[in-house]
Structure formats: C-alpha cells, structure tokens
Structure 1
Amino acid sequence: MLSESSSVNEPSKKVALIAGEGQYPFLFAKAVKKAGKSLLVITFKGQGNTELAELADEYHEIPITQFGKLLEILKNSEAEEVALAGHIRKNKAILTARPDRKTISLWRKLKTRNDDEILRAVAREIEFMGVKVISPTRYLPELLTPEGILTRRKPTSAQIEDIIYGFAIAKAVGELDIGQCVVVKDRMVVAVEALEGTDATIRRAGTLMKDTVVVKVFKPSQDPRFDLPSVGLKTIESMIEAKVRVLALEAGRSLFFDREKALSLADKVGIVVVGVRYE
C-alpha cells in the first residue's frame, strides 16, 4: 500500500475519487491521469459531474446517502488510495435523504454532525477496508496558497492589525467547527461563516460595513486530507460587490483556484491578497 509520502509517480493499481461539486474534482482527475494512474470516480446524483466520466476508467453515480453502496464500490475496485474533492451541499443532502442502513449507522454514531466529524467518520470506514484516504493536494500541490503579499497593493498598518485579529477570531471559531472564514474591521467582527459559505458571508458583511478584511483559515482540529479552506475568482468578485479591501489566507493550508485570474482582477480594483503562515 502507498504511504502519504510516496511519490505520485510510483505504480499503483487505481486511484479513487469521491467527487463533489466544483472544479477541484476535475483538476484532481486530470492530475491523476497525467501521473499515469487508473482512475475510479464516485460522484453523487444531482452534482452535475457527468463530464468526469470522460476522464475516469471506472465511473459510478450514486445517491449521496447510499454510503453502503460507496463502500461496496471501493471494496470491489481494488483502489489503493482515495481522495475526497469538491463541495457537497450538506443542506441539500439532508433535504433529499433516503439513507441506507450503513448511512444511518454512521449518522447515529456521530458525536456532532459538523463537517469535520462527518468526514473523519467517512475516512475511518474507508480506511478500515484497507483503502488509504489521501489529500488531493498530493497530486495538486500547486493549488496551495503561497506565503507573502500576492498583489501589487500592500496592506496598511491598520489592515495588518485586522489580519492578526481576524486570524485569532477565525481560529477560535474554527475550533468549534463552525466555519473557516470571518470578516472584520477595526478589530471588530462583522460576519462569521456558517452553513452559507464564504461568498455569501462576504456579501452579507457588505450589507453591514465597507472596507473590511476577510480572513480564511485552516481550522485547528481539521483533518488536512479534506475540506481545506478555498478561494478563487468568485471570491474576489464577491469582495468587489461587498467593497471588501483585503483577503488574508492561511499559506500552505488553503487552496487558491484560478489564482492568476483572481490576482489580476484584485490588482485591477486595488484589493490586497496575502498568504499568512500561521503557527
């Protein structure tokens, strides 16, 4: 079995992908195929991922609450490692739920039903069968946010104070497994992310206050194999709409999609983007 530190170029029978929404699963699938690996894709009905079938050597689309079926597919596939990539709308899953026995059993065992707890429980069940759960960034390290000031404009001293304050607040919120993002100004909390997601949080903050600072972090107790904080071009567009001035991300522990386009737009409108190494 492959270890987490082994090279992506080492031979393996098959890599599995449990795919949610968005571009992340597509980027991962392409990276796996580029590495010369066989690819199994398991996605969920209604996610709009049918194009992944063109990249996959084996493709399955199942109801999101059929966890027993997912485990059966993995067991029969001879996959050696599996990654979870893409957004899964938990509220949508709950509303459309017709769970099988395995899903019900897993759900009842959870101490809480927040994202981290659910994903850890899923990973434990998968690894119990001998399939290693890996981070998608093993194949896509270039998506990780670099450290430093990423835009032409630099943060002011007041904005730096807000970034420091925002990191402390976001880490405290993350410790409770509520969300990964906060919006602050003048060392005051304007908005905290919950179920609605980052873009909606930014837009909500924009109705309350302008010239704010958005901070997005890796939660202290988070498993780095899945659900890393992520931003992209849409994030910058939401910031423009909400008149936000600064985006601070945790360097090396967050994903930055469409980075070149996003930073180009940020430079055009004078938004500051920084990657902060947090210890």
Structure 2
Amino acid sequence: MLALIAGTGDLPPAVLQALPTRPLICALAGFVPKVTPDITFRIERLGGFLRDLHTRGVTQICMVGAIRRPPVRLQSLDLATLTLVPTIWRALRRGDDGALRAFIAVLERRGFTVLGAHEVAPALLPPVGVLTQVQPQDRHRIDAVVGEGHLVGMGAADLGQACIVRDGHVVDAEDDSGTDALLLRHETLQDDRIAASDRTGGILFKGPKPQQDRRADLPVVGVGTVMNAAAAGLAGLVIEADGVMVPDRAGVIETLDALGMFLWVRPKGVI
C-alpha cells in the first residue's frame, strides 16, 4: 500500500490524479495541501505516525509538494519519537538536501520503500525535445550550456535549482526563496524600454541538484512559472530531461505558445 506525504503546491493533486487507485494521503501539521488528507501528523509524533502507517499496511511512501522545515517542540515528543530525536535534530541543522536524505533514511530504517513522484507518476516527466511552436535560437543553446554548468556549483553549495542566463552570462540565481521569487526579482530589474514581445535574449534554466536524492524535491515547472518568466522578459525555459516535472503539461505548452516562448526539455550535455 502506498502513502503520499503531501505538501503544498500543484504537485500532490497531479500525482493523485495520475495514480490508478487512491493512496493513503498524509499531511504534516501546518501545511495545507490541495488534496484532502486522511491523516495529519506532527513532526514531534513522527514515530507514532510511522507505527500507524505500518498498522494500516503501508509499505511505500512518496513525498510530494513543498514542505518547509518545521519547528520542533521538545515538550510535545511522544515516546515512539524519542529515539529519533538525534536524527531529527541533525537533519534540521543541515541544508535542504541533507535534511531530506536524513528523513528518507529514517523511513527506510523503519521498513518503508521511498519512491519519488516521478516513479509513481512517470507521465509527469515530459519527453525530450522542444515542445512548443517557438524554437530556441543558437544564443539560447549557448545559454543552456552556461546554465547547466552554473547549476553544478549551485548544487554543491545546496543553493537552488534554477538560474537566469542571458547572452552567455548568469544574471541571477535561485536561493531559498524559490524560482518564482527569482523571476519576480529579475522582473524588477528589466529596462522598461524593452518590449514584452522582445524574447531574444534570456532563459530560465532549471534542473535538479547534481547530487540530490531524486525521491524528494525534484523541481517542478507550472503555468505560474511560465507567467513569471514572461513578465521577466525571458525568451523561454530550458529544463533538464528526466529531472524536472511538469504536472500541467498541456496548460504549460498552451501558455508558452500563446506568449511566443519556448520550452526545451534538454538532456544533460547537449548543445
């Protein structure tokens, strides 16, 4: 039996819709997903929650959607969670990747198989190629090479999964505030004299961190990302093949075509 630990955003309902049968849906207290949870749990009662999953016959767990690291109230710990305190504490002190790996390790030690959203719903990964009417120009292909190289350094520092590249130079990169904040920040820097239809010199490059565990926090692109990229004056989006999920693929492509922008699903190392 599969359990989804659902966070916020559009990914949980997209995964749920793609599954042939409804899994057990769980949510961490303080985070309201766009799906109705069967169980809501607190991090201080993680041990009891995992024991309950075993009782219900759960053998597989998939974490989908955004979840920030929650505060831990030591006085609220239950007995089943006390043995996990050192692991939880170390995880919360690490970067995002380290925290996710530690949490996955806890689940595996308790006997669960952890699956990525792209494993339970592989259709969320778009096919390789340019999926839009507009094609990237040669300058955008050069920008993509630059973006891929920059993400390697970002991933080593656990800093983010996206950057903006224009004319062969990284002009801004994602931080803990996320991709939408990156695009909105870039929008405020644009020259008001540049027409919205001038899409010749800039891309959003997005992909997973090189060493991240792809069973959690695989990047996502949605219609909102496209709209923010358009407002930032970018020509299109380049995403790493098999590394970025597009839950509403039809909506994303339709929006890009209407805006005269492109989406290139690019294998690593391609020019």
Under TM normalisation by the shorter chain, which class is it?
Answer: 0.7 to 0.9
Give the aligned residue type for 1:254: V
Task: Determine the structure 1 residue equivalent to 2:59.
Answer: 80
Cα deviation 1:229-273 (Å, max 9, x = unaligned): 110100011112211112100011110121111111111111121
TM-score w.r.t. length of structure 2: 0.85
2:12 and 2:34 in contact (8 A); partners too: no
Cα deviation 1:111-154 (Å, max 9, x = unaligned): 96212111111111111111111112222111103211111111
Percent of pairs with identical residues: 29
Of structures 1 and 2, the one with the larger relative CO (CA 8 A, separation 6+) is: 2
Aligned match for 1:213, one of 203, 207, 229? 203
Matched, 1:24 2:11: yes
TM-fit CA distance, 1:168: 0.7
Task: Determine the structure 1 residue equivalent to 2:155.
Answer: 174
Cα deviation 1:150-190 (Å, max 9, x = unaligned): 11111111111111111110122112211100111122221
TM-score w.r.t. length of structure 1: 0.83
Where do 1:35-114 residues align within 5 Å?
36=21, 39-49=23-33, 51-53=35-37, 59-90=38-69, 93-94=70-71, 97-99=72-74, 100=77, 101=82, 104-110=85-91, 113-114=94-95
Rate the CA distance shift 1:153–1:42 in 2: closer, same or farther, 3 A: same
TM-fit CA distance, 1:207: 2.2
Matched, 1:189 2:176: no
2:12 and 2:35 in contact (8 A); partners too: no
Q: Which moved more, 1:79-88 or 1:61-70?
A: 61-70
Unaligned runs of 5+ in 1: 1-13, 54-58
Rate the CA distance shift 1:145–1:102 in 2: closer, same or farther, 3 A: farther
Cα deviation 1:181-205 (Å, max 9, x = unaligned): 0111122221111111111111112
RMSD (Å) for aligned C-alpha atoms: 2.1
2:9 and 2:34 in contact (8 A); partners too: no
Unaligned runs of 5+ in 2: 192-200
1:233 and 1:257 in contact (8 A); partners too: no
Where do 1:236-247 residues align within 5 Å?
236-247=226-237
Matched, 1:126 2:110: no
C-alpha separation in 2, matches of 1:174 and 1:248: 17
Cα deviation 1:43-75 (Å, max 9, x = unaligned): 02232237424xxxxx21123454334323333
What SS does structure 2 have at the residue aligned with 1:52?
Answer: coil
